[in-house]
Amino acid sequence: MSSRRAIGIDLGTVYSCVAVFQNGNVEIIPNEQGNRTTPSFITFTNNERLIGDEAKNQISMNPKNTIFGFKRLIGHKFDDATVQADMKHWPFKVINDRDKPKIQVEYKNQIKLFTSEELSSMILAKMKDIAEIYVGKKISEAVISVPAYFNDSQRQAIKDAGAIAGLNVLRIINESTTAAIAYGFVKKISGEQNVLVFDLGGSNVNVTILNIEEGIIEVKSTTGSTYLGGEDFVNRMVEYFVKEFKRKYNRDLLHNKRGLRRLHTACECAKITLSSSCQASIEIDSLHEGIDFYSKITRECFEELNADLFRSTLQLIEKALHDARMNKTSIDEIVLVGGSIRIPKVQKLLQDFFYGQELSKLMNPDEAIAYGAAVQAAILTGDKSEELKDFLLYDVGIETVDCIMTTLIKRNTSIPTKQTQTFSLTSFPKSQSGINIKVFEGENSMTKDNNLLDSFEFSDISLNSGDGLEIEVTFDIDANSILLVSVSDKTSGKEKRITITNKKECLSKDEIEYMISDAEKYKKEDKIRRNRIEVKNSLESYCCNMKTTINDEKLKDKINIYDKKKMLNALENILTWLEKNQFAEQEEFENKLNDVEKLCSSIMKKPYLDENDTGKMSGEFSHGEPSE
């Protein structure tokens, strides 16, 4: 067994999950509340930063500073249509900072701007903390999942987020691939199987077809959309009820951010209810301008609202089958992943599409991705020995004369992979000192219709050699889908290598270092906050338990009235003070605790209480020290 301990993280848009491989099994790690998934929510207040369940509970009270869905911003520019569409549904402010979308919040009475990478790093750091508490040791390595259709710059952004969180990211892996790994590990597949993974999450849908044989997993095709998922189904419900509210009360809810957020939360609950019931209720007191809103929605109505979205998932399946050169009957197993897969209509459409074939419900769809990521982490750290063959998502190539896209590596090629091609000098646009190399990804024949990854100049070459000069271009893609481009002049032997990072979209080294420093500051603040809360809880617990014991019938004749009144007054004063001073400093809580303990201890030691009484009381009021 490897001495290294790496975790698998499903960094979800709505919920995140962390798992670890130990003692021969994968263990999904619960958070402090005992939940096996953690909301990808962050709240900033005048006093503190909250992450996870605590943050999501603040959404109605502090909508402008409770941040969620930021994963949808990764790798996008502010003016992208998808970003502008998302902003309409968010109660917090997104601003344009040199074409990059940044989220603006008020934290400790100051305006702060955060990138999606920085916010993602906070969730990753939270997952890391949850895992460290569970395994009882420091963790520095992780495998992190991403939607299959994340491009190069988006994957690099997640690696950057991992670095900011203090993690060495061993592998960026496709969500659907990790689900297949989990399925293969749980079912212990023998022989060969074609598996279709249907992943319907909070903000994306992915369809991946894999071949699994003797522990080797090979991706045959993938397709999907990063803008179709459970959030879109909920938003359709929100729009439906906004119209109903206006029809009933002639009031427009669209400009009430707090009201919209409360309605969104109610619709989330209704979506979950409709997976097991035929009807759900919406009950919100004082939703807008003092109006109480009560309504109902049937499963049939919900299905009609989202009928086109549900059907569009089948088009993705057809494309995946076409790309894999398979038909419906070629699929041996259909694995369901993602919380929205529980919607009955989605399951029925899938089953009907595959001629009534049973859907695999072997794994918890909320946990399958983290499960598979943990298995992959174990493989990479030497705990397991299975082979994974991932694939390239898009064609990658270079621009040659007349803006032609010349592909070096085709999409769906297994990775890691390496490909070399030789070009004549006339293939490239020239500058005064050399040639321009532009690297693109995409399936279109003209580069203007594809995504520019990076460009650089290959200079000081033999431009005077005429058309006979040969330029050798090599694309080397590693297991994380990171592309290394090498260009060499075959005449002079001069070579240039560059790792494609899409610098315009990715964080610079200085930005990452600054964010790492910031993350350390937040970590220290979180530690101070945890210790402060522990002491506050100890003080509150001591006072409540002491009050209960003082009023115990067995002790009422053993403490004189004056001492009893003195203790009760002191305890009541502290509890009243606590209600008004929830954010007092740790030292203040400690002083209050020491003072009340001294008072009660001095009375407990009086001769009219025997040893059994004082032992009973002191045992009930012991409290732990705050964690380091």
* Active site positions, annotated: 10, 71, 175, 199
| 3-state SS, residue 197 | strand
The one-letter amino acid code at 252 reads D
Q: How far is CA 454 from the centre of its chain?
A: 27
| 3-state SS, residue 364 | coil
Q: How far is CA 443 from the centre of its chain?
A: 29
Which helix (H) or strand (E) is 154 found in, with range? helix 152-164
Cβ-contact 175, 229 below 8 angstroms: no
Q: How far is CA 173 from the centre of its chain?
A: 14
Per-residue CA distances from 127 to 33, 122, 200 (Å): 13, 9, 22
Separation between Cα atoms, residue 410 and residue 414, nearest integer Å: 10
CB proximity list for 79: less than 8 A, separation 6 or greater: 96, 99
DSSP string for residues in 391-419: E-SS-EEEEEGGGEEEEEE-TT-EESEEE
Tokens of 431: 């500058």
- DSSP code, position 72: G
CB proximity list for 625: less than 8 A, separation 6 or greater: none
CB proximity list for 620: less than 8 A, separation 6 or greater: 545, 546, 549
What do you get for the CA distance between the two ends of the chain, in Å?
A: 30
Which helix (H) or strand (E) is 475 found in, with range? strand 470-477
CB proximity list for 540: less than 8 A, separation 6 or greater: 575, 578
Alpha helices in 360-462 (DSSP H): 368-380
Which helix (H) or strand (E) is 42 found in, with range? strand 42-44
**What's the CA dihedral at 152, 157, 160, 161 to 10 degrees?**
-140
